[in-house]
Amino acid sequence: MAAKTLMVQGTASHVGKSVLVTALCRLFARRGVKVAPFKAQNMSNNSFVTPDGREIGRAQAVQAAACRLAPRTDFNPVLIKPSGERSAQLVVNGHVAGQLEASDFGRIKRDHWPAVRDALARLAGEFDLVILEGAGSPAEINLRDRDIVNMAMAREARAPVILAGDIDRGGVFAALVGTLALLEPEERAYVKGFLINKFRGDADLLAPGVKMVETRCEIPCLGVVPHWHDLQVPQEDSLGWEDQSSCSRSLHGSPFTLHEFLTIGVVDLPAISNFTDFDALACEPDVRLVRVVGPITEPLDALIFPGTKNTAAALRFVKDRKLHLVARQVLAAGGKIVGLCGGFQLLGKRILDPDLVESSEGELEGLGLLPVTTSFARDKVTVGVSGRHPASGCPVEGYEVHMGRTSLDAGAVPWLEVRAEGEAALRPEGASSEDGLVLGTYVHGLFDAVAFRRVFLNGLREVRGWAALPVQSGMALDEQIDRLADFMAKHLDLTAIEAMVERGL
């Protein structure tokens, strides 16, 4: 391989691998290194659309931005999108490559290992450094023969590995030592250092444990990274959804008291997808997000039905939990209902799936909150779009990833106007009820648009009789990545990490 390599693996999911790779990508890019990210296989419903209309994991799109590159499928050649506990949609090189059942996950390596190797080889021929990310834990020994993303990838890339552990969930020393103990000797040889992530408290108290791990495992600690409460870089998987609204729920440093907060409910649907659609709302100083899984007594200013990879299962969940009644309570109080992608489909009158693309049911009765009908097709729509919100004139931008096509019936009007790159004219998109209280769209990332987000929130504030707030400048993703890189630079031994890269294996 022409490029040098570095890999971040973890003791478990959600230990911070994606965020660490993002920071390292930016830190090396700042040094003038031509760097690219790579994750062979990603399991996430949090996806992104590349400029050429293909689909990759959202984390790799963010890592590409950290490298100041446009996203491409070589950064994430295999994407698994779970639709149930034992089933998933398989995306290879950005295109749907069929369905997966839990019993046959081994066919990914059997059928698509060449595509993974080819993607890595292309990056290695173009860049000075490729920073790889693992998935879950390399110590999942029951899956070792099917591995294409952890140690199998480290061997292929000849990449020195940093092992990250999450102390916030407890047991970090056991996780680090146990992970290394379960690796084969030749695999352990790839691990050149470890770090501890999400620490709260006095790092000096960790010193005896850190020293013991260094001695027992014969590798150095490369940093102890504190827990960052207001991290705004999009995260990879739905485990991040647990902490997603943490920055908006804290009153510390906010100019608002609790009774001045807007409260927006987000339905916690099965196979929730693209939960980063709410990041921008969660970090507004006057917004609280709350997870909704059943009837609640707390008044809501708005209720959002998010995207889902399994619309049929999500519809059953909503009806079983009586969440459609929660929606009607919100409407009765003058609040708004928003459906995003799969959530948009749920709000309609009917969902048709004649070819059984997403479920075993050809027709389902929707919630009837929006006069639209959705029909599923075999071809997936994956496209980036930009346009405007006609009622306010505010610009909007985002991307669409969906199998369904939704048509408007009498009583619905388009909500947005958008166009894909190369299209000359704006086209109607989404739907609004005639009174403007029920809204639906396929555009992910809609609330990232600062002016549009403020107009939406000011509409909620108006119902309460509050004064409108001015448009805030917000912080662009590039600035957020710079903040992340600055933060990590204070707590990582970058000299040792750079030496690892130079030495290689």
Q: How far apart are CA 62 and CA 48, in angstroms?
A: 9
Which pLDDT belongs to residue 203? 79
> Please, are residues 369 and 324 in contact by the beta-carbon 8 Å criterion?
yes
pLDDT digits (tens, 9 = 90+) for 155-182: 999 999 999 999 998 899 999 999 999 9
Q: How far apart are CA 255 and CA 268, in angstroms?
A: 29
Answer whether residue 434 shows pLDDT above 60. Answer: yes
Pairing relationship of beta strands 78-82 and 41-43 according to DSSP bridges = parallel
Q: How far apart are CA 166 and CA 247, in angstroms?
A: 20
Q: What is the dihedral of CA 79, 84, 85, 89, to 10 degrees?
A: -30
Q: Which two tokens stand for residue 113?
A: 């290992």
* Between residues 96 and 361, the one the model is more confident about: 96
Q: How far apart are CA 114 and CA 320, in angstroms?
A: 44
> Please, are residues 368 and 394 in contact by the beta-carbon 8 Å criterion?
no
> Please, are residues 132 and 75 in contact by the beta-carbon 8 Å criterion?
no
In percent, how much of the chain has pLDDT > 70? Answer: 93
> Please, are residues 372 and 412 in contact by the beta-carbon 8 Å criterion?
yes
DSSP class per residue in 255-324: SS-GGG-EEEEEE--TTEE-GGGGHHHHTSTTEEEEEESS---S--SEEEE-EES-HHHHHHHHHHTTHH
Which pLDDT belongs to residue 235? 61
Which pLDDT belongs to residue 357? 80
- Tell me the average pLDDT across 444-451: 94
Answer whether residue 4 shows pLDDT above 60. Answer: yes
Q: Which residue has the tokens 């290194």?
A: 33
Lowest mean pLDDT among 124-133, 155-164, 201-210: 201-210
Instruction: Label residue 493 by pLDDT band (50, 70, 90).
Output: very high
Q: Which two tokens stand for residue 70?
A: 């446009």
Answer whether residue 119 shows pLDDT above 50. Answer: yes
- Its CATH architecture, for the domain 238-474, is 3-Layer(aba) Sandwich (3.40)
Backbone angles phi, psi at 236, to 5 degrees: -80, -50
What are the angstrom distances between the C-alpha of 371 and each of 349, 374, 408?
6, 10, 6
Q: How far apart are CA 309 and CA 272, in angstroms?
A: 7
Residue 45: other Cβ atoms inside 10 A = 26
Which pLDDT belongs to residue 238? 47
Instruction: Label residue 469 by pLDDT band (50, 70, 90).
Output: confident
Answer whether residue 243 shows pLDDT above 60. Answer: no
- Tell me the average pLDDT across 198-213: 91
- Tell me the average pLDDT across 334-350: 97
What are the angstrom distances between the C-alpha of 182 and each of 65, 151, 190?
35, 12, 14
- Tell me the average pLDDT across 74-86: 92
Residue ranges per structural domain of the chain: 4-40+113-231+479-503, 238-474
What are the angstrom distances between the C-alpha of 239 and each of 120, 190, 334?
27, 28, 32
Q: Is the pTM here over 0.85, yes or no? A: yes
Answer whether residue 318 shows pLDDT above 60. Answer: yes
Answer whether residue 267 shows pLDDT above 60. Answer: yes
Which pLDDT belongs to residue 237? 54
- Its CATH architecture, for the domain 4-40+113-231+479-503, is 3-Layer(aba) Sandwich (3.40)
Answer whether residue 137 shows pLDDT above 70. Answer: yes
pLDDT digits (tens, 9 = 90+) for 291-314: 999 999 889 999 999 999 999 999
* Between residues 191 and 356, the one the model is more confident about: 191
Which pLDDT belongs to residue 21? 98
Q: Which residue has the tokens 């097709």?
A: 377
Which residues belong to the active site?
A: 341, 444
Q: Which two tokens stand for residue 43?
A: 């399991």
Instruction: Label residue 248 by pLDDT band (50, 70, 90).
Output: very low
In terms of C-beta density within 10 A (0-12 exposed, 13-18 middle, 19 or more buried), how is residue 495 classed?
A: exposed
- Within this chain, domains 4-40+113-231+479-503 and 238-474 share the same CATH topology: yes
Indicate the residue type of 196. I
For residue 8, the cross-strand partners are 133, 162
- Tell me the average pLDDT across 360-386: 93
DSSP 173: H
Give the mean pLDDT of the chain: 91
Which pLDDT belongs to residue 254? 44
